[in-house]
């Protein structure tokens, strides 16, 4: 019983962590890009 539990905690958790990391990274990058676009727009058009 302890063997499958340890295998589950070792395998999928790493995969889920990778997906969460990539998803958060994409969200942060898009948010930063949007903020940069807004700042440049407001700076160009007074």
Query: Which pLDDT does position 11 carry in this prediction?
Result: 58
> pLDDT tens, 3-44?
444 444 555 567 777 888 899 999 999 999 999 988 887 766
Phi, psi (degrees; rounded to nearest 5) at 31 = -65, -40
Structure confidence at residue 1 (pLDDT): 42
Concatenating the DSSP letter of every residue in the chain gives -HHHHHHHHHHHHHHHHHHHHHHHHHHHHHHHHHHHHHHHHHHH--
């Amino acid at each position: 019983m302890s063997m499958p539990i340890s295998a589950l905690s070792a395998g999928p958790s790493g995969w889920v962590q990778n997906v969460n990391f990539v998803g958060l990274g994409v969200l942060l990058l898009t948010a930063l890009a949007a903020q940069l676009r807004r700042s440049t727009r407001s700076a160009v058009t007074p």
